[in-house]
Structure 1
Amino acid sequence: MSPPRRLAVLRSHLQPPAASAPAGGGNRDVARGEQAAGISTSPCASAAAAAVGKGGGRGGAEAGGREAEGKGTCVFCRIIRGEAPAFKVYEDDVCLCILDSHPLAPGHSLIIPKCHFPSLEATPPPVVAAMCSKVPFLSNAIMKATQCDSFNMVVNNGAAAGQVIFHTHFHIIPRRSGDKLWPTESLRRRSIEPNETSGLVSCIKEQLYPSPEGFKTKPTSSLPKER
């Protein structure tokens, strides 16, 4: 994704189309108006700030630097605190669901944890599980509201994958037959070649089970089978 495109996406989350900010401190007035309309504060900033203040954060200095985003510059943290406008469709103690202000399709929504985590691998499994548990509930409502019967669930994790806001989030994108949203869907995919991938499979298993003992005690057959 080019820098201008990333900037455009970032601005899209800061400036939803329906929230035009008047000159002379309008952003603050809009944020107050959205608070009055139902956007509530949350422990997002205080939890992230506490982690930074204690020198915490997962993933070393890089993760710690991104955690500092939660103190004030992270767009999603500002939305969660009620300091920036957003179109909220769902909220609980762990996460928030808002409409993407520059959607790829009508109903394009984002599921966001209320505490600041810069990437999916830095997000605690219980938080990821809580977010995932809401996907069937939220996607069903979104598909019914947009009269769709399909959706994509997308996670852009890391800059090379298109992540521009370093606060973990899931995309739910409603789909219609023939909408041609992803150009890659028309590409012909090549079948996997066993000789080319055997080394890759071994490498992945070594990352999963570094010790020989661990590898032997966790064979491939122990993985869940597709139904």
Structure 2
Amino acid sequence: MSEQCLFCSIVAGQIPSMKVAEDEKTFAFMDINPASDGHLLVIPKRHSRDLLEIAPDDLAAVTLAAQRIAAVAVPALGADGVNLINCCGAAAWQSVFHFHLHVIPRYTDKDRDRLTLPWVPDVPGDRAAIAAVGERIVAALG
């Protein structure tokens, strides 16, 4: 646990939260700045800074907890879908440096859903540039 970490303080009960679920490895609570009705966060109890640092067993536990919660939350809230989002690094919008998954129920009713896409997903990229970047990743993987 990091003494300076907001989410570690929430797990320790030093900062109040609306807890949704908890198990041996994970803690889930409502996001106080929700993108939609029912937006919550699932975190590992053990501190890790981000996706690049989290232990594989904690990552698996958080992902499985998020899936279990989403499977219940979507029908319970009448949501039309759900996003699981992780932001890794300040440039990727990470604002709390303790790994977390956002579980964001999605609604066609925009009064319940304020999240919008930051890019247009149906605009094709340059295939040669995509292949070149892909090859760099393949080479880095070994």
TM-score (norm 2): 0.90
2:44 corresponds to: 113
Structure 1: unaligned runs, 5 residues or longer: 1-44, 46-69, 210-227
C-alpha distance 199-107 of structure 1, shift in aligned 2 (>3 A)? same
How far residue 101 of structure 1 moved from its aligned partner, in angstroms, is 1.2
| Larger relative contact order (CA 8 Å, sep ≥ 6) | 2
C-alpha distance 191-183 of structure 1, shift in aligned 2 (>3 A)? closer
**Larger % of strand: which?**
2
1:10 corresponds to: none
2:126 corresponds to: 193
Structure 1 segments of 4 or more deviating over 6 A? none
1:76 corresponds to: 7
**Larger % of helix: which?**
1
The 5-angstrom pairing of residues 1-227 of structure 1 reads: 45=1, 70=2, 72-177=3-108, 179=110, 181-184=115-118, 187=120, 189-209=122-142
How far residue 189 of structure 1 moved from its aligned partner, in angstroms, is 3.0
Kept in 1, the 8 Å contact 2:66–2:101? The answer is: no
Kept in 1, the 8 Å contact 2:44–2:62? The answer is: yes
CA deviations on 1:146-203 (whole Å, 9 max, x unpaired) are 2113011100110001111100000000101253621446x36322433222221211
The one-letter amino acid paired with 1:206 is: A
Q: Report percent identity of matched pairs.
A: 29
Larger gyration radius, structure 1 or structure 2: 1
The one-letter amino acid paired with 2:138 is: K
Partners of 1:178 and 1:184 lie apart in 2 by: 19
Q: Secondary structure at the match of 2:140?
A: helix
Supply the RMSD in Å over aligned alpha carbons. Answer: 1.6
C-alpha distance 178-193 of structure 1, shift in aligned 2 (>3 A)? farther
Structure 2: unaligned runs, 5 residues or longer: none
Partners of 2:28 and 2:117 lie apart in 1 by: 27
The one-letter amino acid paired with 1:182 is: T
